[in-house]
Structure 1
Amino acid sequence: MAIKLYEGSISPNSRKVRLLAAELDLPIECVTLDFAKREFRSSEYLAKNPNGKVPTLEEDDGFVLWESGAILKYLASKRPERELIPRDPRDQALLDQWLLWWTAHPEAALYRLIMERLVKPFRGVRGNDPTIVAEAEEDLARFLPVLDRHLQIHEYIVKRLSVVDYAAAPWLEAARGPLHVDLTSYAAIAAWLSRMQARPRWASIESQ
């Protein structure tokens, strides 16, 4: 079944889906929306994703799915033999724990930074609000140590490579790249991110 991915070229949430699809050897057709032309706000796109955000997955039978975490789990279910979603119920629960934690806390803080430092200036709107930036940085200082301590004793976020690693890694690439977040004190996160970037298909998916 053909898979179409509506995405944004600089969106970490879009990149995480492209990376996982490559890991799983799942062919996808990427439809890159032009944010300058506000294509993500078109009536045609809003009929697929009423939030006006990316990514959105669409299959040729009309099935549509949005929210990157849900898309990751759905794609992983197409290759169950790869076990990027654990089979054991407790391991599944731990995966959901970390996936929900990541989305609610570090990713939410990084999203606020990407809006203030990149998206708003791109749109010609005043960004870099000091209050919003400070709150986001405080959240990162609170939650990234949780992940760093965990990765000091675990190779991946759950027992083995999983969709959670693909949910987090593209955002942390952006953090120490265009977002200029200092991650030097998080040695375990840095080592884990290096392991992710060494995955065989990782380099083939360009960081745009």
Structure 2
Amino acid sequence: MVLRLYGIDFFTCTRRVACILKEYNVPYELVTVDFASKEHKSPAFLEHQPFGQIPYIVDDDGFEIYESRAISRYIANKYRAQGPPLLPESTDVQKLAKFEQAASIESANFHPSAEAITSEKHLGKTPDEDAVARHLAVLKSKLAAYEVILSKQKYLAGDEITLADLFHLSYGQAITNVGIDVLESGEFPNVARWWKEISSRPSWQAVKEKA
């Protein structure tokens, strides 16, 4: 039995998980959820993911877990020997604390604005450009802090790459795809250096269009 990833190949959080699976060379089967028919809100789906969100995984031993960042932590722990040290050992409390700090930076300071921009500029939707400008202004204010952090160290948790950096990939790619080049423009040179490095990883290149 192979690990099963329940999601949609081009969805941001599905690709976040797929990227980490690639980092650890974990074979997986993508089980496509029929979003158009609202399969993710069906009783059968809700038995596995009670919030009706995508994705969740069923590992090869039957273990189930949802929430893309939690799935990523699980993969990095279970398959630690198969890939890079993207998650500090639990015994290194200071490195682990710095990782959790960096992970919180992504979820609290990057994700909300990036998701809002992507939602406004979604294909087939007429965007509220004033709202986009407001969200972009907030995002730039956050990236100014990123610039300070990344001027002192290579990555968000220190000089070693972690999951916290890779958590940015799916929504960073999403805003880039809708014409927001703030990660690449050079306005924040250390951010641009960091983004170029993490987005060039083979794991992301393999799934950046679809899982």
- In structure 2, the residue matched to 1:163 is 163
- How far apart are the structure 2 equivalents of 1:99 and 1:120? 32
**Residue equivalent to 2:113:** 109
Question: Does the residue aligned with 2:5 lie in a helix, a strand or coil?
Answer: strand
Unaligned runs of 5+ in 1: 122-126
1:114 and 1:48 map into 2 onto residues whose CA distance is 27
User: Which residues in structure 2 correspond to 1:193-204 (within 5 Å)?
Assistant: 193-204=195-206
Indicate conservation of the 8 Å contact 1:94/1:158, yes or no: yes
Q: In the alignment, which residue of structure 1 is the partner of 2:25?
A: 25
- After TM superposition, give the deviation of residue 206 of structure 1 in Å: 4.3
Cα distance in structure 2, aligned partners of 1:165 and 1:182: 17
**Identical-pair percentage:** 26
Give the alignment's TM-score, normalised by structure 2. Answer: 0.84
Find the counterpart in structure 1 of residue 69 from structure 2. 69
Indicate if the aligned counterparts of 1:114 and 1:179 stay in contact, CA closer than 8 A. no
Name whichever of 62-71 and 84-93 sits farther off: 62-71
Contact 2:73/2:87, CA 8 A, preserved across alignment: yes
Aligned CA distance change for structure 1 residues 177 and 120 (closer, same or farther; 3 Å): closer
Q: Which whole-Å CA distance do the structure 2 matches of 1:91 and 1:4 have between them?
A: 31
Q: How far, CA to CA, are the matches of 1:196 and 1:49 in structure 2?
A: 30
Per-residue CA deviations over 1:77-103 (Å, capped at 9, x if unaligned) read 023343211121111011111112211
Matches within 5 A, 1:26-105: 26-81=26-81, 82-87=84-89, 88-105=92-109
1:179–1:110: structure 2 CA closer, same or farther, 3 Å change rule?
farther
Residue-by-residue CA offset, 1:39-80 (whole Å, 9 max, x unaligned): 222222122112121121122444221111111110000233
Q: How many angstroms apart in 1 are the aligned matches of 2:30 and 2:110?
A: 27
Q: Where do residues 175-186 of structure 1 align in structure 2 (5 Å cutoff)?
A: 175-178=175-178, 180-183=180-183, 184=185, 185-186=187-188
Contact 1:19 1:205 in 2 (8 A): yes
Which residue does the alignment assign to 1:154? 153
> Which runs of 5 or more structure 2 residues have no equivalent in the other structure?
none
2:101, 2:49 → 1: CA distance? 25
* Letter in structure 2 aligned against 1:103: S
> 2:138 corresponds to which residue?
139
Q: Residues of 1 paired with 2:155 and 2:52: CA distance?
A: 32
* Secondary structure, aligned partner of 2:121: helix
Equivalent residue letter for 1:176: T
Q: Distance in 1 between matches of 2:123 and 2:103?
A: 25
Q: TM-score, normalised by structure 1?
A: 0.85
Whether 2:191 is the aligned partner of 1:189: answer: yes
The alpha-carbon distance between structure 1 residues 89 and 27, as it changes in their structure 2 partners (threshold 3 A), is same
Structure 2 CA distance for aligned equivalents of residues 147 and 8 of structure 1 = 30
Q: Partner letter of residue 88 of structure 2? A: P
The amino acid that maps onto 2:93 is P
* Count of aligned pairs: 203
